[in-house]
Structure 1
Amino acid sequence: NRSFRVDTTKLQHRYQQLQRLVHPDFFSQRSQTEKDFSETHSTLVNDAYKTLLAPLSRGLYLLKLHGIEIPEGTDYEVDRQFLMEIMEINEKLTEAQTEATLKEIESIVRAKQKEFTDNVSRAFEQANFEEAKENLTKMKYFSNIEEKIKLKKIPL
């Protein structure tokens, strides 16, 4: 089913089923050909699961299936107001000294990602791939901020 909406519980269940069939641990006593097959397919199952589990990678994959990709450095396609918002959040994050401030920023980012995820879902349901692309581009910016937050939380 090529839908942006995914039941993550079903996805996880299907992932586990497939891994029970192809995981290399179950092929240790088999021929080299079967071991190679297992390794290749286990990797494919892992990659597919990771891609489908996260809304951003799932959306990018669906766009790609429709022949649309978001090249790196697509700042020119994002409005200035959005870029200013990103800069402000990045500045707050850089200056953040307390756990409370980090949680506040994290809450803002989580809310924005939910908003974009909902927008992307609607766009795919309406086959509006340009709108999906625009929202996924914005999600990439917030995903970068999420990574920065994770790094900031790691004690030195």
Structure 2
Amino acid sequence: MRTSRTMGTILIVLGLIFVIAGGATYVLVSQELSRANVTVADDAAFLQGDTVDGPFSAYSQAQIIDKHALESTGGKTYAELDREDPLRQVAMSASFLRASLFTSVVAFGVAAMAMGVGVAMILGGLGLRARPDDARDRVAARA
């Protein structure tokens, strides 16, 4: 029984670390996006005018950047444009911006997953530490 209580305590501590690390990462990514002072374009599919500081606004802005870049390049992607085409720079910049925004979307997802795993670890640890059969343990100890 002592081993399960020890393992429960370890799970709780690790769970707290996961929750704190995930929460800190989520906040850090949000603050960094917010410092860029970007707002979702007015012609975006959703969250128009919203500050880009979360996963949904970052995704929306990445999508509208792609739309604008394709409009500028006549529907061609970076790889489809000729090397000497001056629009290739537009496509390249759009690709870099989108990649950065999608990286933040992934970071938000990983942070949320870490927090979820942390909560699950805490609940598992609490379950291991619970001793609903204390009466049975006392009987076994007397025997």
Q: So what's the TM-score if we normalise by structure 2?
A: 0.34
Q: Which has the bigger relative contact order, CA under 8 A and spacing at least 6? A: 2
Identify, as 1 or 2, the structure richer in helix.
1
In the superposition, the TM-score normalised over structure 1's length comes to 0.31
